[in-house]
Amino acid sequence: MKNDSPSYETQELRDFAETLQSRRTIELFLQTPVPDRLINDAIEAAVWAPNHHVTEPWHFYTLGDETKERCLDLCQDIVTHKVNEKAGEFKRQSWSEKPGWLVVTCRRSEDDLLQREDYAACCAAIQNLMLFLWKAGVGCKWSTGDITRDSRFLEIVGVDAATENVVGLIWYGYPKLTPTQSRRARAEVHTKTP
Ligand SMILES: Cc1cc2nc3c(=O)[nH]c(=O)nc-3n(C[C@H](O)[C@H](O)[C@H](O)COP(=O)(O)O)c2cc1C
């Protein structure tokens, strides 16, 4: 069936929808630092995500300057080997302009269903975190690029590969540029059954 157009009957709902719909992945950031207490608050908001078995499977790593520098070295190395030296230098430069770095992991489980549900909870937590920050004027980019699966990255961040999976590397900061193109549901996504 055709998607219904939204009605958003109250101002509160309109404001809430506006926050959800205006959030965009941010590529370019100002270098203005984001206060640590705002990140702490965002993590606190994140962990209110639904979590089927209340396993609290998430962990949040905020990276300090020394760690970021080691990540940049690694990023350059990965891209240099995958593409070439020039591309490695270019990538390092562009990543060095990402002001805030946060890594979110999910506890590993032997049980496939629990693993799936814990991963879902961690994704919901990341969305909570990103929306909370967005409302505070801070943009994010969620990345699952090559580096997030590289054992050297886990070692640099201090993630225990035996017990945790990386769900995302989240860059955050005040946006230098916010994409103006809004996303609309183009596909028909809603079926009402009798
Ligand atoms: C699980 C996940 C992984 C993502 N990984 C990447 C990534 O590695 N590189 C990237 O450029 N964008 C990544 N993104 C961001 C998406 O590309 C982005 O959300 C999408 O283009 C829609 O744009 P929007 O967030 O502005 O609506 C990821 C998003 C999610 C949810």
Domains and CATH numbers, the chain: 54-173 (3.40.109.10)
Name the β-bridge partners of 16. Answer: none
Q: Which of 127, 102, 107 is nearest to 54 (CA)?
A: 107
**Residue 24 CA to ligand 1 centre (angstroms):** 9
Q: Compute the distance between CA of residue 107 and CA of residue 57 in angstroms, rounded to an integer.
A: 5
Q: How many CB atoms lie within 10 A of CB 177?
A: 12
Contacts 24+ apart (CB under 8 A), 35-44: 36/62, 38/133, 38/136, 38/138, 39/100, 39/102, 39/133, 39/172, 41/132, 42/129, 42/132, 42/133, 42/136, 43/129
Average pLDDT, the chain: 94
Residue 79 has pLDDT above 60, yes or no: yes
Residue pLDDT, tens place only, 85-113: 999 999 999 999 999 999 999 999 999 99
Residue 2 pLDDT grade (very low, low, confident, very high; cuts 50, 70, 90): low
Among protein residues, the one with the nearest Cα to ligand 1's atom 22 is 25
Residue pLDDT, tens place only, 135-156: 999 999 999 999 999 999 999 9
Q: Which residues line ligand 1 (CB under 6 A)?
A: 24-25, 142-145, 183
Ramachandran angles phi, psi of 36, nearest 5°: -55, -35
Residue 7 pLDDT grade (very low, low, confident, very high; cuts 50, 70, 90): confident
Alpha helix (H) ranges present in the chain?
11-22, 36-46, 65-82, 85-96, 112-135, 151-157
* Pair of tokens at residue 161: 């590969």
Could you tell which of 25, 134, 148 is best to mutate to test the pocket of ligand 1, judged by most ligand atoms within 8 Å of the CB?
25
Q: Compute the distance between CA of residue 73 and CA of residue 66 in angstroms, rounded to an integer.
A: 11
Q: What is the pTM (predicted TM-score) of this model?
A: 0.95
Could you tell which of 144, 181, 182, 186 is best to mutate to test the pocket of ligand 1, judged by most ligand atoms within 8 Å of the CB?
144
Q: Compute the distance between CA of residue 91 and CA of residue 76 in angstroms, rounded to an integer.
A: 6
Residue pLDDT, tens place only, 12-51: 999 999 999 999 999 999 999 999 999 999 999 999 999 9
Q: Between the CA of residue 184 and those of 22, 23, 178, 187, 188, what are the distances in Å? A: 11, 13, 17, 9, 11
Q: Are 116 and 105 in contact (CB under 8 A)?
A: no
Among protein residues, the one with the nearest Cα to ligand 1's atom 25 is 25
Could you tell which of 143, 165, 183 is best to mutate to test the pocket of ligand 1, judged by most ligand atoms within 8 Å of the CB?
143
* Type of residue at 152: R
**Residue 117 CA to ligand 1 centre (angstroms):** 21
pLDDT at 24: 95
* Type of residue at 14: R
For residues 65-69, average pLDDT: 98
pLDDT at 125: 98
**Residue 88 CA to ligand 1 centre (angstroms):** 21
Residue 181 has pLDDT above 90, yes or no: no
Residue 6 has pLDDT above 80, yes or no: no
pLDDT at 188: 85
Residue 1 has pLDDT above 60, yes or no: no
